[in-house]
Amino acid sequence: MILSSKGLDIKPSSTLEITAKAKQMKADGIDVVGFGAGEPDFDTPDHIKQAAIDAINEGFTKYTPASGILPLKKAICKKLEEDNNVKYEPSQIVVSNGAKHCLTNTFMAILNPEDEVIIPAPFWLSYVQMVKIADGVPIIVKASKENNYKVTVKDLEDALTKKTKAILINSPSNPTGMVYSEEELKEIADFAVKNDLFVVSDEIYEKLIYGDEKHISIASFNEDIYKKTIIINGVSKSYAMTGWRIGYSAAPEAISKIMSNIQSHASSNPNSIAQKAALAAISGDQECVKKMKVEFDKRRDYMFSRISEMPYISAIKPHGAFYVFVDLDEVLGKKYKGEVIDNASVFAKLLLDNEKVAAVPCTDFGFDTHFRLSYAISMENIEKGLDRIEDFLDNLE
Ligand SMILES: Cc1ncc(COP(=O)(O)O)c(C=O)c1O
C-alpha cells in the first residue's frame, strides 16, 4: 500500500521521545533525572481549576464557536492591548488546541506549495515539520553563538529569495532562552515590511523573562508590521496548563478567517471546559505567574552557575523560557568508555544509559553540537542531575 509521501516525510518529535523514554525508565524503577521537560512542574493554579469545575457543573460541555468563545477572545484582546500594546478585535483571534495548533493553522493559512519560511536556528523542532505539513519549504538560517544565537537582518537577507513568504521569530526562545531586543526586532520588522513578508511571532514564553529584559511584540511597532504579523501565544507555559490545550493567534482578519475555517473542519472548537479555564487564567489574578517565575529564576541562576564551572561545556545565561542551551565545545571528539562522542545525540544517549540523565540533544533543533536542559524540574532533581553530568564529564578521555 502506498502511504502519503508528505506524511512519511514528517519526523516524530524527539523531545517527546526522550521525555517518554525517561518516564518509562522511571516507571521501571530506575532513578532517572529527566531534563527533557517542556512544561512547568507546578500544578495548574486552583482558581483556574475551579473555573473548569464550575464549567462542568454548569453544563458548559457542548460545542462552542469553532474559533473560541467570545468572552475568552475579548479577554485575549484586553491582554494583548495591556501587555503588548497591540489592538485586536475578537474577530482577529482564533483559539485553538494549544499554540502548536495555532502555528499549524497559521502555516496552512498563509502558505502555498513551495513558499519558503525562514526559520532561525536553533529553533523549536516542530516549526520545520509544521511548515512541511502546510506544503511550505523551511529555510534554516543558523544564528551564531557570538550573536547570542539570534539572527541578524544580514542573515535574513542572505536567505531571501523570490519564494520567501514568512519569517519565524520565537522570543523568548526555546531552546536558547534568548530574548530579542526592541532594536533587533525593529530591524527585523523593517526588513519584513520592505520585502512583503509575514512574521510569525511565537510569544508563548512571554511571561517567563528574568532580569532586566522585557518582552516586546513585533506587531506593536507600527501599522505596516501589524498587518504582516501573526502573534502566537497561549496558556500552557505561563499558567502551568500544558495538558489543557489552549493557545491563541492574533492576526489580520483575513488570515484569522482562513484559520477559523480550517479549524472548523479539522477539529472544531477547542475543549469548552478548557476555554473557561483559560479565561480564568488570562483575566484572573496574575500572582500565580509571578510565583512560578521567582522559582524558575532561582533554578536558572543555580543551573547556569554550575554549568559554567564544569569542564568541556559552556552556555550563555538564558534570559527567558526555562531552558539552558549547552554547547558541547570541547566534548566533541572525546571518548566515554571507549566510544567517541561526535555529536549531541551520541552524548545524550551515553548520558542516559550511563548516568541516568535525560537531556535533549539539539540535533532536531538545528544544532547538533548542543543539548538542552530544562529547569522546569525540582531543585533537588536539578542538583542531582547536574552532579551526574559533572561525573560523566570527569570520565571523558
Ligand atoms: C516555542 C514553543 N512554541 C509553542 C509550543 C507549544 O505550546 P502548546 O503546549 O500551547 O501547544 C511550545 C511547547 O513546547 C514551544 O516550546
What is the residue extent of each domain of the chain? 5-43+288-394, 62-283
pLDDT at residue 18 tops 80: no
Ligand 1 atom nearest 202 alpha carbon: 3
Distance 204 CA to ligand 1 centre (A): 6
Tell how many helices (H) and how many strands (E) occur in the chain.
Answer: 14, 15
Matching fold, domains 5-43+288-394 and 62-283: no
The CATH number of the structural domain formed by 5-43+288-394 is 3.90.1150.10
Q: At 37, is the pLDDT very low, low, confident or very high (cuts 50, 70, 90)?
A: confident
User: For residues 1 and 302, which has the higher predicted lDDT (pLDDT)?
Assistant: 302
Q: At 212, is the pLDDT very low, low, confident or very high (cuts 50, 70, 90)?
A: confident
pLDDT of residue 190: 98
Task: Establish whether residue 14 lines the binding site of ligand 1, counting it when its CB lies within 6 angstroms of any ligand atom.
Answer: no
Nearest to 235 by CA among 79, 32, 107: 79
Task: Establish whether residue 270 lines the binding site of ligand 1, counting it when its CB lies within 6 angstroms of any ligand atom.
Answer: no
- The percent of residues above 70 in pLDDT, for the chain, comes to 99
Distance 100 CA to ligand 1 centre (A): 6
- 174 near 321, Cβ under 8 Å? yes
Angle at which helices 126-133 and 98-110 pack, to 10 degrees?
Answer: 40
Nearest to 319 by CA among 183, 206, 235, 240: 206
Q: Where are the alpha helices (DSSP H) in 177-271?
A: 182-194, 223-226, 253-266
Pairing of strands 33-34, 357-358: parallel
Is the dihedral angle over the CA atoms 106, 110, 116, 117 positive or is it negative? negative
Mean pLDDT of 311-324: 97
pLDDT per residue as tens digits for the range 383-396: 999 999 999 999 99
Ligand 1 atom nearest 15 alpha carbon: 14
- 38 near 173, Cβ under 8 Å? no
Burial class (CB in 10 A: 0-12, 13-18, 19+), 154: exposed
The CATH number of the structural domain formed by 62-283 is 3.40.640.10
Angle at which helices 344-355 and 14-27 pack, to 10 degrees?
Answer: 10
pLDDT per residue as tens digits for the range 131-161: 999 999 999 999 999 999 999 999 999 999 9
Mean pLDDT of 15-19: 71
Distance 124 CA to ligand 1 centre (A): 8
List the Cα angle 56/376/344 in 5-degree steps.
130
CA dihedral of residues 222, 223, 225, 230 (deg, nearest 10) = 120
93: three-class secondary structure by DSSP: strand
pLDDT at residue 94 tops 90: yes
- 297 near 147, Cβ under 8 Å? no
CA dihedral of residues 377, 382, 385, 386 (deg, nearest 10) = 140
pLDDT of residue 22: 82
Task: Establish whether residue 370 lines the binding site of ligand 1, counting it when its CB lies within 6 angstroms of any ligand atom.
Answer: no
Residues 387, 25: Cα–Cα separation, whole Å: 19
Q: Whose CA is nearest to atom 13 of ligand 1?
A: 38
Ligand 1 atom nearest 124 alpha carbon: 1
Task: Establish whether residue 247 lines the binding site of ligand 1, counting it when its CB lies within 6 angstroms of any ligand atom.
Answer: yes
The DSSP element (H or E) to which 379 belongs, if any, is helix 379-394
